[in-house]
A and B are shown apart, each in its own frame.
Chain A
């Protein structure tokens, strides 16, 4: 069977545009059936595929500056798809798909050893410490395109893979095999009122992500755009989520640096 060209789905988040409003988080929660609890204030016990960090430049008032950094799963490519989390899963519950560049997580395969969580430096992986419970009636808002996760498994952002599946379904029914850029967008990119999140195929020069980032695909997708950077570039995880900023301190906050004095 002939196969369409491989995609490398990725995201660019303009940190100078992001306002930290949280629409991406909520849109993600609604799209992906994220459970909520009476007390979700301990963010280390809470499930949220998208987390908005609040970065500070560490300077005193009034030189203090802040920046908001939304963090979905980085969908690391590593070397040949061996992202930090994928190779450690003992039960093949998480995988890197060369056709899309998406790191999958199969909740029914996962048995909750949490090795992947220890492996991920971005803390994108979250464990279902509790049974998900919806107050009576609110389970009606659950999206059937995304499985509800049971207690005891790890979950993470899938780049709204279910939206890819349903978009492909529509395309197949209409006799097409390829998707237009706007046909497959993640919930966060779609919702962002500031237009800070751009999503698309990094392999496709016509897609906005490619045009913005200008990825050097021969070198793990390093951005050629000088304003673009990736989190923890030095680790060699080769994430497919890029960040844009014109502020130097924000850029520096994206990676660790040994001070040469």
Chain B
């Protein structure tokens, strides 16, 4: 049926099975859309947020997907600026994943505000002092960049490519992609950092606050660094999951290995900086505000934010995957590599969770208690919505666009095939 749209030299599953898959994921998407409309119509009372938990699951999801979408800018940086040519075999997918992540982030942000119809005030009446302003501007700009990076991919569809204008457009866009990669890296540096600043500048919140270098708190750099480290891990993770789902090898091992190695060293440096930051925070910043480290982690029945979470974030999901990824033997073992990137991805998610959710759980006024929060189904549904949307977009892109340049080579068609 749709074979005219499928890239040359590769095989795709029957349309029926594809549509069945889309229908299943689409049902999940629909569930999210229902929740979204419920929230738009009835308001944010549909969530379990409250006045102590003004930021919750959604902001975490935003921060997490943006961190994981960091694979796009960092791979682009490596490919176009640092000239790691091998990465051209994964850059398409990195861009696609980035696009999914960033569009999801914008979608969630649009749900998360109390007055979506005047959310544009953030641009029109921007407050230059606010990290969120910086995030909004850079995020929107970078989403534009990602769109520009994604367009040539769409144009490479077999049918679209037949139109000379689009073919030339795609070709020309490829030619100047380095400019966009550089712009993307620049923008990402700022908004990833600004997201770190979101909690880092809150001097009323000793758990989140990190003293600053110039105008930026340390979390500014830590977030950028961790996005650069964990973003590629997420790219690898999704690539591997895609390979499992399609039961095909899509990217050559040496490409993955190179990306994993770079990510590993990024993670090593990041986690070293993170440890320094944590120690300084625990020993200097927080005590100056009247808090000991254990004030943040104990006596919180119902919240369960024990010291385990710090150990999990820094040790299990930080140091461990970092060490794993820099070890060539681990990288060569598909299972261990998968585990390592998975841990690194979890580490980034955990870090974002802690910096937003735990920050608000910790009582600052001595006579207040720990605050607890569990998301409502509407929040969960709208957070899963982008996941479903991402899967669908990836599925369509994979099916109809030449995302993986090495796919045809790695999966030669049997004689008589296309």
Using a CB–CB cutoff of 8 Å, the interface residues on chain A facing chain B are 42, 44-46, 53, 55-56, 69, 78, 82, 84-85, 87-93, 109-123, 125-131, 150-154, 231-232, 234-237, 252-259
Contacts and interface: CB of A to CB of B under 8 A. Distances in A.
The number of chain B residues touching the other chain, given as a range, is: 35 or more
A151 B51 contact: no
Given A88-B132, A122-B365, A256-B295, A114 B127 contact: no
Contact of B114 (A78, A90, A114, A258): A114
Contacts of A118: 54-55, 199, 202, 205, 356, 359-360
A91 B121 contact: yes
A152 B112 contact: no
Nearest to B291: A256
Given A88-B130, A90-B122, A256-B289, A128 B114 contact: yes
Interface of A is mostly: loop
Contact of B367 (A113, A151, A253, A259): A253
B366 A256 contact: yes
Given A82-B129, A253-B366, A235 B292 contact: no
Contacts of B116: 111
Contacts of A151: 43, 114
Interface in B44-59: 44-45, 49-55
Given A88-B201, A109-B125, A253-B366, A117 B51 contact: yes
Contacts of A121: 204-205, 364-365
Contact of A258 (B43, B51, B290, B359): B290
B202 A119 contact: yes
Given A87-B201, A129-B43, A232 B365 contact: yes
Interface in B367-381: 367-368, 371
B287 interface: yes
Contacts of A128: 114
Nearest to A88: B130
Given A151-B114, A253-B366, A127 B44 contact: yes
B51 A91 contact: no
Contact of A69 (B52, B55, B198, B367): B367
A92 B112 CA distance: 18
A119 B204 contact: yes
Contact of B132 (A115, A236, A254, A255): A115
Given A123-B368, A237-B203, A256-B291, 19 more contacts: A44-B371, A87-B130, A87-B201, A90-B130, A90-B133, A91-B122, A91-B125, A91-B127, A110-B114, A111-B116, A111-B122, A115-B54, A118-B359, A122-B364, A129-B45, A130-B45, A152-B43, A234-B290, A256-B289
Most B Cβ at <10 Å: residue of A87, A122, A125, A254: A87
Most B Cβ at <10 Å: residue of A82, A235, A259: A235
19 contacts: A44-B53, A44-B371, A84-B204, A87-B201, A88-B130, A114-B55, A115-B55, A117-B55, A122-B204, A122-B365, A127-B49, A129-B50, A131-B43, A151-B43, A232-B364, A232-B365, A255-B290, A256-B289, A256-B295
